[in-house]
């Protein structure tokens, strides 16, 4: 069984956690990822906190 999840890891001191740090904690990450995962990641990417966000609740 394989699980694919999208997660954003951040440090308490600020900044993002590197892939090397994730590998250190989880042990292994597959080297080959299906192409659809990259498409999904692009489509579900969260906006940068440095960008002004549009609020469309009307």
Q: For residue 1, is pLDDT > 80?
A: no
Q: Beta-strand (E) ranges in 1-58?
A: none
pLDDT at 58: 64
Q: What is the pTM of this model?
A: 0.47
pLDDT at 52: 73
Contact between 7 and 46 (Cβ < 8 Å): no
Does residue 45 belong to any structural domain of this protein?
no
Does residue 11 belong to any structural domain of this protein?
yes
In 3D space, the residue among 56, 36, 49, 39 whose CA is nearest the CA of residue 8 turns out to be 49
Domain carrying residue 22: 1-40
pLDDT at 54: 73
Contact between 53 and 47 (Cβ < 8 Å): yes
For 10, phi then psi, to 5°, come to: -130, 155
pLDDT digits (tens, 9 = 90+) for 5-55: 877 778 888 887 887 888 888 877 777 888 898 898 888 877 666 667 677
pLDDT at 9: 79
Number of domains the chain is built from: 1
- Residue in the block written with tokens 């940068």: 48
């Amino acid at each position: 069984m394989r699980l694919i999840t999208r997660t954003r890891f951040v440090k308490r001191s600020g900044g993002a956690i590197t892939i090397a740090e994730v590998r250190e904690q989880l042990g292994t990450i597959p080297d080959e990822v299906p192409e659809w995962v990259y498409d999904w990641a692009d489509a579900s990417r969260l906006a940068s906190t440095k960008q002004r966000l549009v609020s469309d609740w009307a």
